[in-house]
Amino acid sequence: MLEGPATSEPEVWVFFYGSYINLDVLREVSYAPRMFEVAQLLGFDICIRPRANLVRSNQHSVYGILATGPIRNWAYSMPMRKMC
């Protein structure tokens, strides 16, 4: 697990997948995780139409990163996208 500086702002753990496992991409959307580690999410697959979304699957698993850091209004500022 990699750690950055501690903060007093609220934090949540978030599973990032697809392009968002790249820390440079996360910085482009103003998110800098304080801690992160590689993670596997069983029972899901990635559906790309045209963006990556997670869909339930009994036969697959998805790899990504589990990250935490100050959330501010970051998660709520992301545009909503249609699911597969």
Q: How far apart are CA 73 and CA 38, in angstroms?
A: 24
Within a domain: residue 25? yes
> Does some domain include residue 6?
no
Q: Is the pTM of this model over 0.75?
A: no
Per-residue model confidence as pLDDT tens digits over 37-81: 999 999 999 998 888 899 999 999 999 999 988 766 555 555 555
Residue 58 lies in a domain: yes
Task: Domain count for the chain, please give it.
Answer: 1
Higher pLDDT, 49 or 17: 17
- Asked, for residue 56, whether it belongs to a domain, the answer is yes
Q: Residue 57 sits in which domain range?
A: 12-73
Do the domain assignments include residue 7? Answer: no
CATH of the domain at 30: 3.10.490.10
Lowest-pLDDT choice from 12-16, 27-31, 52-56, 69-73: 69-73
What is the pLDDT, as a whole number, of residue 58?
96
Residue 78 included in any domain: no
Comparison of pLDDT for 3 and 52, the residue scoring more: 52
